[in-house]
Amino acid sequence: MIALLDEIFSQAGKDFTIEQASVGFFTTGVVSVSPKGKKYCGLASTLKEGVCSGGLRAGLKLKGENTLNIATELVSGTGPEISLAFACLNSCLPEVNFLEINAQEIIETRGAGKKVAVIGHFPFVTRLYEIASVLKVSELSPKSEKDITAQEMEKFLGEVDVIALTALTLMNGTFEKIISSCRRDSFKVLLGPSAPMHPSLLNYVDCVCGTFVCDPSLLLSDLSEGKSFRLLRGKKAVAIGRIS
């Protein structure tokens, strides 16, 4: 586990217990209860191994278990175990003051007329191609002929003014290498449902754009029906850090 994640894990709530966990096709959700009885819901994108044997380890018990212990146990696992670890972590982080704003708004405002890099695929990429002076997109599993390789992106990062990178980079261990390739004065945004809303990340990026779940029951009901992240109800897009 990278030093950054160690720091975030060390500051998470140690006495939260899991009330409910759901590993959906697109999104994983965990509802945890604090020692004072308050409920929090954490999310993460569901990683898939692409094999029939992939999944959670046999005999894993979740309900009633210590949230942080489960997160620590599973974060070095594979596929959906990592997703569950991040959802657990995100359900027991200290509360922070956030602004209700969509990552797209921040990135479009910052990226207009600039050189922009996007690591991961997001719906706003189409719009960015129209307003950025240069836009290059990279993902481990390319989705477009315009996508460039990770090696090409690494070379491009030294030129960019704005970079938007998926929180999956924390989950797959590529975050620190990507950040080290960026210009120090570039504007960096970490985004996605897996993003921990924790101030330690602001030592590496300018802002973190994630999700606040305001109605866990509604969201987990949608999640269990296989709905994509965008169609999940009961959530808000939020951000911390340098927004404007």
Q: What is the pLDDT along the chain (244 residues), one digit of tens a residue?
A: 578 999 999 999 999 999 999 999 999 999 999 999 999 999 999 998 655 555 677 778 999 999 999 999 999 998 999 999 999 999 999 999 999 999 999 999 999 999 999 999 898 999 999 999 999 999 877 777 889 999 999 999 999 999 999 999 999 999 999 999 999 999 999 999 999 999 999 999 999 999 999 999 999 999 999 999 999 999 999 999 998 7
What is the CATH number that goes with domain 99-214+234-241? 3.40.50.11590
Bridge partners (DSSP) listed for residue 166 = 191
* 83 within 8 A of 75, measured Cβ to Cβ: no
- DSSP-based three-state secondary structure for 18: strand
- Each domain of the chain, given as residue ranges in start order, spans 3-90, 99-214+234-241
pTM of the model: 0.93
- Which residues, including other chains, have CB under 8 Å from residue 189's CB and lie 6 or more apart? 103, 106, 107, 110, 162, 163, 164, 165, 205, 206, 207, 208, 209
Token pair of 140 as six digits: 């481990």
- The bridge status of strand 115-119 relative to strand 162-166 is parallel
Q: Do domains 3-90 and 99-214+234-241 have the same CATH topology?
A: no
Start-to-end C-alpha separation, the chain = 32
pLDDT, residue 202, reads 97
Q: What span, in angstroms and rounded, lies between the C-alpha atoms of 5 and 82?
A: 13
* 140 within 8 A of 150, measured Cβ to Cβ: yes
Question: What is the architecture, at CATH level 2, of domain 3-90?
Answer: 2-Layer Sandwich (3.30)
Token pair of 160 as six digits: 């960019």
Which among 181, 178, 96 is positioned nearest to 190, based on CA atoms? Answer: 178
